[in-house]
Amino acid sequence: MWRFFERYPDAKSASEADIDDVQRMIQPLGLSERRSRALVRMSKEYTQGQWKSDPKRLYGIGKYASDAYQIFCLGNWRDIQPKDHALNDYRAWLKSQYA
């Protein structure tokens, strides 16, 4: 992960990344060809900015990432009903702190 961020420190540089280079870096995760292409494509869409406030419009972003964005970036934890247990645990903790 740190090697990736050293080489591609922001979305713009990741959007211009060499897919083969990214694939070599993330190969230990498995599905590296698919993931590297998705990462570069999602970075391109991110830099174009047409997704603002709706990350599901970005390629490869599903419910988990969208819920995490709503909770951690926008603070909309009261309005989100995640299916992921870790997000639910965090949401429950927030509720106990701010109820």
Residues carrying an active site annotation: 84
DSSP 8-state assignment for residue 29: G
* Separation CA 78–CA 68 (nearest Å): 12
91-94-52 Cα angle (round to 5): 65
* Separation CA 79–CA 61 (nearest Å): 19
* Separation CA 21–CA 38 (nearest Å): 14
